[in-house]
A and B are shown apart, each in its own frame.
Chain A
Amino acid sequence: MSKEDVESGLTWEVKANSRHYHKHKQRKSFLCFTWGRYSDNVVRSHKYSLLTFLPLTLFEQFQRAANIYFLLMVVLQCVPAISSIPWYITIIPLLVVLSVRGFKDLAGDLARRRCDSEINSRPCDVLFSQSFMTAQWKDLCVGDVLRIRRDQIMPADLLLLSSSEPHSLCYVETADIDGETNLKYRQALGATHNELTSHPSEEALGAFNGVVLCEEPNNRLYTFRGQLQWQGECFLLENEHILLRGTVLRNTDFAYGLTIYTGTDTKILRNCGKLRVKRTQLEEVFNKVVIGIVLSVLLAAVLLAIGAGVSSYQAMTKTSFLSALVIDGKPAYNGFLVYWSYIILLSPAMPIALYITFELIHTIHSKFIGWDLEMYWQQTDKPAEARNTSLSEELGQVGYLLSDKTGTLTQNRLLLRQCCIAGEVYGDASVSAEDVKPMDLSWNPFSSGGLRMFSPTLVETLRGQRCPVTTQFLSALALCHTVMAEWKEGSLVYQAASPDEETLVGAARELGWVFLSRTRDFVVVSELGATRQYQLLALLDFTSKRRRMSVLVRDPQGGLKLYCKGADVVILERLQKNCPHKESNEIALELFAEACLRTLCVAVRSVPEALWEQWSRTLALSAAMATCERDTLLEKLYDEMERDLLLLGVTAIEDRLQEGVPETIALLQEAGIRVWVLTGDKKETAVNIGYSCKLLHPESRLLEWQELREILQSADPQVSFFKAKQTELWATHKEMARAKTSVVLTGPELAEFEERPEWGASFMSLAEQCQSVLCCRVTPAQKAEIVELVRKHTASITMSIGDGANDVNMIKTAHIGVGLAGREGGQAVHNADFAVSQFRFLQRLLLVHGRWSYRRISLFLCYFLFKTCGFALVHIWFGILNGFSAQSLYETWFIALYTVFYTATPVMCMAFFEQDVSAESSLKLPELYKSGQKKELSSPRKLITYLLYAVYMSLVLFFIPCGVFYNTDYDYQTMAVTVSMAATFAVTIEIVILTKYWTKFNIAALCVSVVMFFICSRITHSTRLFQSSPADYFFLGVSEKAFIDPMVWLTALLTAWAAVLPSVTSHAFSVILSVHNKHKIHNSSPPPVELRSRFARGSSLRRSSYAISQGAGPGRLINSTTSIQRAEVLKEEKVSTSKKL
């Protein structure tokens, strides 16, 4: 490796066909040490092996503070000197918790293992000493030469050496990388193509000994820098030469590639981001509260221990009957022991059962999501799926929805819905595409269906050849494009880089103008059955700056024609004077824009022979020029040719939205969720979709980078933002007052944020006032950065939704990631927390399941906190009256069974079934969702209120029975049973108050729990158990006596009622006040969602564009000669300057 290479950053060295060399340097790891340079091609997402499972799972589980805490409790309880309750009370639940969790992890890991091994054992052909052998993906090594067959997935990042197609072209589908289904072209270097395309190719490939020097592995999907050193020459390598892992080879029999990056070094895996364990905010808040409880317990124990020391001292000096019990006669030591005893005694305040119950509830909620018939998609036979079972309550708190566009909002299916030819509009966009009657096209042998435009008049006009303009229009559609035609199984298949072109050519084919094939110089078209050959003289390619493309052809009669199609603004300014139908076409443009269709203008020009001759001479000259000079000249030349056009008509294409997308977005926005769109697509397309899915209001103002930058740079972004808004208001019509602002950004602009981190906060505060934010041309990593930005600067829950591998990173970064289970091999789904089949299912997922889940879990946590703290804190008060001796006020069995049998099931039933409003009402009243965003039920304040309530309950639970039994002959055990009874009653009344939805399970659980208390008490106090172990069942006969004592009952009832009185009262007040509130809600119920946009007639809101997925059109490829230098391809426009409104 030369010094120069290091400086240029090309430090990654790959030697072709030298497996031994690379194998030696393969990355290996042992424990936490790794060495070696090249990663292997094995996917390892599993964590455990047979040996490491037990230690690892225990290690992980004991990272959870609660488990450590309980383990400590068990240890403490084993020390006889401080054991205030026996050790088995804690260890049994702890073991259950650990093993349940362990088995769950193990099952998940086994599933991952299966999934990994499926990927790792996929076959691929590797060249071993001049012949291809089938190997598995995991055996691949950097430097291997591979043969990829048609429809195979690339196992690693490859350098394309040659392919079975002419010029070593090959087509790849990148659906798993960026979600786009149209094919992309890749072409091998001329040198490798020429040298390696021999038959059989094995020999040449086996002898190939080039060395690739390139960048270190990185996550930039669209760029690649490197060079191939071979035969003493050095060739520059570009992204066009690279086949990325995860892409699929299409329409190409074989492609040969050199492995450059493997495994974790590949670009797509570099883009995947780190797997992070997602925890819900509610859980975090709750964990903090639990830590708070533990600290308070420790503090209380300190105070009690001091009390114990003092009382021991008093006992020593005064109380003869107790003095001997002070160990070693040291009050301080006694206090120290009592400290630990109190920690044990108060530990039930933080119940171990909570975490296991919490998980159970999450699991059931996730099941409910999978069971929902309304989220089941019949067509693909897929129900919704909660892949991460611990996030369900966050679905009820989402503040930001960040959505991918292609495949998520749109179906990635374009349809020609309307067109306007010679001023005549054909087709009706108000009929939805599914309802369009199919036309009778049986006369056309090439028709394959799929035209969603009903217009018999157009067909008649065409077949009768009555109108020359119409004929020309169809010819233009059939000729002016860069589509490739291919015969596949007896039918004609089009391959296009632009889905729009594919649609238009397909539509022309349905109408009888069939594009049959193309060679370098000719285009063959069948016009109503008559095959005609057009000579292709020039192809004036599309760029995002030109926003049009043209072909110059010589028709069979010898006439020269320029067919041009492009965005309306560009075409309209190039029309000849007094062009007929211009006005009617403009009206049609308005009409199509209103229906949110994407429009293109089609025009023609008859070129005089003389002009062509002169023009072609200049063009030939340009070939010899330097790149930059040539570009200017070409631009000028093209401009000369594309003028004096005759407008033929307008096409209107519908970018099919997924079902119910506008309704869903409107509903979610009403629910207070901010919807952002992040897409790799062009700005024009993104904005267009933004309008059609009602994300952008037709009147909303788009705030673009220039303006945004100024606002952000100004001293006070808020002020200048409002100023900008205000001037807008002053300047425009009053109608605009209601208009909102949306921000439109592109990837390169976003990159500036990285350099100016201080902008993040002010940008977010602006964005919060905006209707929406659209980010276009962003890479997967940038998508994740945006999510990170939102997470960092707002307290809201973010949710990402996407369907492609390019969304994986953002899905992983967001609080909640949703994968759209549309197509095969859903990378997104594998990494998502939830998988749904349709975008509109988000409505139910968020507003119904999310809202319910949030409510249920919040109530559950508050109640759980209340019932355990209220019950455990009693010991603090009892300590005052028993000399701070850590005497338990309950029987040990009651402590053990209280959380499990006596109080667990009713709250679990509530957490399973509770519904404050029905699913239908949840969808009808989206504003109900806002309470989750505001964290009304789970705020720390709410939890603290419940804690205070628990403290109150513990006071009541102790002091009322204390008052009753003071100075009477009631013994300690009777009082213990009375307090237990009161505690059970109180928490039962509390759950009755909280439950609003009483299914038979709730009622049964409630009855069983209370009955359980009486039965279990009688059992643990029974003679038989006492006789088997007198030390463990020493409450013999207490309940027998207490349960028939009216004083015990009266005391328990009074205590229970007094304990829940604050809660009952506050609920009663809320009932009384809610009568008032309900009235309010009723009055202010929102107007029905208006889905048709309100267009002011005459407003110029045309959106005409031409969708090409990445950069310039492939026209150059079509025109190319074999010696074409791909490196010269125009650099794609980074910043599109044009903007439409």
Chain B
Amino acid sequence: MVKEEQEESPNRPDNTAFTQQRLPAWQPILSASIVIPMFVLIGAAFIGVGVALFIASRDIQLQELDYTGDDSAHPCYKCRSSTEKCTCSMTFSIPNLFKGPVFFYYGLTNYFQNQRKYGASKDDNQLYGDLDYFKDPSSSCDPYTRDSRNIPIVPCGALANSMFNDTFSLSHVVNGTQKIVPLNGKGIAWWTDYNVKFRNPSVTPLINAFNGTKKPTNWPKPIYELDTTDVYNNGFINQDFLVWMRRAALPDFRKLYRRITHDDYVNGLPAGNYTLTIEYNYPVYSFNGRKKVVLSNVSWMGGKNDFLGIAYIVVGSMCVVMSIVMLIVYAKFKFAEDD
């Protein structure tokens, strides 16, 4: 009878686990015997990862060459304030085999590529090959949208305008003669940048697309002449251009310039003396920036990076130390209670 009444009344709340807040639930009961070992385990795991990272990082070979030339003794000193085309060369030696594949980077410091206005100063539609934006670039490129005669600039914007334009060549000194080390410039940019994000307008020859436009003011040559030897490395899809256009995260950064993968250097750079020849164009001294060339190989974790390994070890050790403190506190209370 009671049941009938229950069914009759629509006001009676439903007797379900949800409405009665009796949902089956897992209530982990933590205790010192779980917490402390857990801390030890996590700490140990972090230390393990840290050590692995540290070892991997230590095994990576790195050759860094600063060619800013602010020291009068430096071979590039002469180029520092030269307005003409200037070339300087530096020699260095590699004591052991520099295992391949060797990555050739250029690095800049104190260079704020992550500045918001600088980073936004480009026209994505233009770079996507949309001819409408060749005639009328987006205002986000200001003040690098048009030149003094009001002709649209392609590629517009500060980011493209400030493209890094030092060039390098590396030669191996073999028996007193300079042997050019072949540098591979293919595949250094992101796949998506090369294939999707940047596109040349579908006009052949490419130069026609740029009628009525101007090259960026700082550039020595227009974009369609970046690499006249290779159609697939020219215009907006030039690898060096793509690498530059991918903004760095922080003011000190490296960008991949070339890879050494050919000829005798497939397995790396053999021990010996090398000469780096720099065509010095890019000014950095005004803002206390530095320029360098970095040769490095990579491991499973990427390039050399001591910070991550050390950070892992530090955090792991903190966990272990905490677990020890907890153990002491726990023991203290335990004994106090026993008393």
A selection of 7 A-B contacts at a CB cut-off of 8 Å is A80-B139, A319-B112, A371-B14, A373-B15, A966-B250, A1037-B193, A1050-B301
Q: Check A998/B27 contact, CB under 8 A, given A967-B253, A971-B246.
A: yes
- B107 near A381 with CB under 8 A, answer no
Q: Does B41 contact A (CB under 8 A)?
A: no
| A1036 pairs with B197, CB closer than 8 A | yes
Most buried by B among A84, A321, A964: A321
The 10 A-B residue pairs whose C-beta atoms are closest, nearest first, are: A1037-B192, A371-B19, A321-B162, A975-B249, A887-B116, A885-B116, A1030-B124, A319-B287, A998-B26, A882-B114
A841 to B: closest C-beta gap in Å: 13
Closest A residue to B113 by beta carbon equals A972
Task: Give, as a whole number of angstroms, the nearest-CB distance from B51 to chain A.
Answer: 13
Q: Which residues A958-978 have CB closer than 8 A to chain B?
A: 960, 962-976
Interface residues of B in 26-45 (CB under 8 A from A): 26-28, 30-32, 35-36, 39, 42
Give B253-304 interface residues, CB cut-off 8 Å to A: 253-256, 283, 286-288, 300-303
- When the two chains form their complex, are residues B308 and A964 in contact, meaning their CB atoms are under 8 A apart? yes
The answer to whether the Cβ of A63 comes within 8 Å of any Cβ in the partner chain is no
Task: Please determine whether B251 and A1069 come into contact, CB atoms closer than 8 angstroms.
Answer: no
A66 at the interface (CB under 8 A from B): no
Which B residues lie within 8 Å of A913 (CB)?
Answer: 21, 23, 25
Bound-state CA distance A888–B128 (Å) is 24
Q: Are A966 and B27 in contact (CB under 8 A)?
A: no
B13 at the interface (CB under 8 A from A): yes
Alpha-carbon distance between A1057 and B47 when the two chains are bound, in angstroms:
13
CA distance A1075 to B114 in the complex (A): 51
Q: Is the CB of A967 within 8 A of B125?
A: no
State which of B13, B14, B255, B305 has its C-beta within 8 Å of the C-beta of A964.
B305
Q: Chain B's nearest CB lies how many Å from the CB of A875?
A: 11
Question: CB of B11 within 8 A of chain A?
Answer: yes
A763 at the interface (CB under 8 A from B): no
- When distances are taken between beta carbons in the complex, the residues of chain A under 8 Å from B9 are 381
Q: How far is the CA of A511 from the CA of B124 in the complex (A)?
A: 101
| Further pairs besides A324-B158, A971-B247, A1046-B302: 16, Cβ < 8 Å | A320-B286, A321-B118, A325-B158, A371-B20, A852-B21, A881-B250, A887-B116, A913-B23, A915-B25, A960-B311, A967-B250, A971-B248, A975-B250, A1046-B301, A1051-B308, A1054-B315
From A381, A887, A1076, contact of B333 by CB (8 A)? A1076
A1068 to B, closest residue via Cβ: B35
The residue of chain A having its C-beta at the shortest distance from the C-beta of B5 within the complex is A378
Contact code string A996-1039 (vs B, CB < 8 Å = 1, else 0): 11111110000000000000000000010011001100101100
Q: Contacting A324 at CB < 8 Å: which of B139, B144, B191? A: B144
Is the CB–CB distance between B128 and A1030 below 8 Å? yes
A24 to chain B, nearest CB (A): 48
Partner of B249, one of A319, A325, A972, A1069: A972
Give chain A interface residues in 295-332, CB to chain B under 8 Å: 314-315, 318-322, 324-325
Residues from chain A with a CB closer than 8 A to the CB of B31 are: 1071, 1075
A320 B283 Cβ-Cβ under 8 A: yes
Once bound together, how far apart are the Cα atoms of A229 and B49, in whole Å?
A: 100
The answer for the CA separation of A335 and B149 in the assembled complex, in Å, is 30
* Given the contacts A322-B112, A969-B256, A1036-B196, A1050 and B49 also touching, CB distance less than 8 Å: yes
Task: Output the least CB separation between A879 and chain B (Å).
Answer: 10
Q: Which residue of A lies closest to B124 (CB)?
A: A1030
Does A919 reach chain B (CB closer than 8 Å)? yes
| B105 lies within 8 A of chain A by Cβ | yes
Q: Please, how many angstroms separate the alpha-carbon atoms of A1037 and B253 in the complex?
A: 21
| Nearest chain B CB to A135 CB, angstrom units | 35
Residue in A381, A885, A1036, A1058 whose CB lies within 8 Å of B117: A885
Contact with B along A1045-1075 (1 / 0, CB 8 A): 1110011001001100100010011011101
Chain A min CB distance to B118 (Å): 6
Q: Does B330 contact A (CB under 8 A)?
A: yes
Interface pair A970/B249, CB less than 8 Å apart: yes
CB–CB B124/A372 < 8 A: no
A residues with CB within 8 A of B = 80, 84, 314-315, 318-322, 324-325, 341, 368, 370-373, 376, 378, 381-383, 852, 881-883, 885-888, 913, 915, 919, 960, 962-976, 996-1002, 1023, 1026-1027, 1030-1031, 1034, 1036-1037, 1040-1041, 1045-1047, 1050-1051, 1054, 1057-1058, 1061, 1065, 1068-1069, 1071-1073, 1075-1076, 1079
| Inter-chain contact A968/B254, CB cutoff 8 Å | yes
Q: Majority SS of interface residues in chain A?
A: helix
Q: Which of chain B's residues have a CB closer than 8 A to the CB of A1051? A: 308
- Asked if B286 and A1046 sit within 8 Å, CB to CB, the answer is no
In the complex formed, the residue of B with least CB distance to A1003 is B26
Residue of A with least CB distance to B107: A967
Cβ contacts under 8 Å, B303 to chain A: 968-969
User: Are A322 and B193 in touch, CB under 8 angstroms?
Assistant: no
Q: Most chain-B CB neighbours within 10 Å: which of A84, A373, A1027, A1072?
A: A1072
B196 near A1037 with CB under 8 A, answer: yes
Q: Would A1034 and B124 count as touching, CB distance under 8 A?
A: yes
Instruction: Please tell me if B73 contacts chain A, counting CB pairs below 8 Å.
Output: no
* Residues on A with beta carbons closer than 8 Å to the beta carbon of B125: 1030-1031
Could you give, for residues 182-201 of chain B, a 1 whenever the CB lies within 8 Å of some chain A CB and a 0 otherwise?
Answer: 00000000111100110000
**In the assembly, what is the distance between CA of A971 and CA of B159, in Å?**
14
**Residues of A with C-beta under 8 A to B254:** 967-969
Question: CB of B88 within 8 A of chain A?
Answer: no
Q: Which residues of A contact B35 (CB under 8 A)?
A: 1068, 1071-1072
Known contacts being A1037-B191, A1037-B196, A1072-B32, is A973 close to B246, with CB within 8 Å? yes
The answer to whether B326 has its CB under 8 Å from any CB of chain A is yes
Cβ 8 A contact of B326, one of A319, A882, A1069, A1079 = A1069
Q: Given A1036-B196, A1037-B191, A1075-B31, decide whether A883 and B326 contact each other with a Cβ distance below 8 A.
A: no
A972 lies within 8 A of B311 (CB): no
Collect the chain B residues with CB atoms within 8 Å of residue A372's CB.
Answer: 13, 19-21
A368 contact from B21, B107, B158, Cβ within 8 A: B21
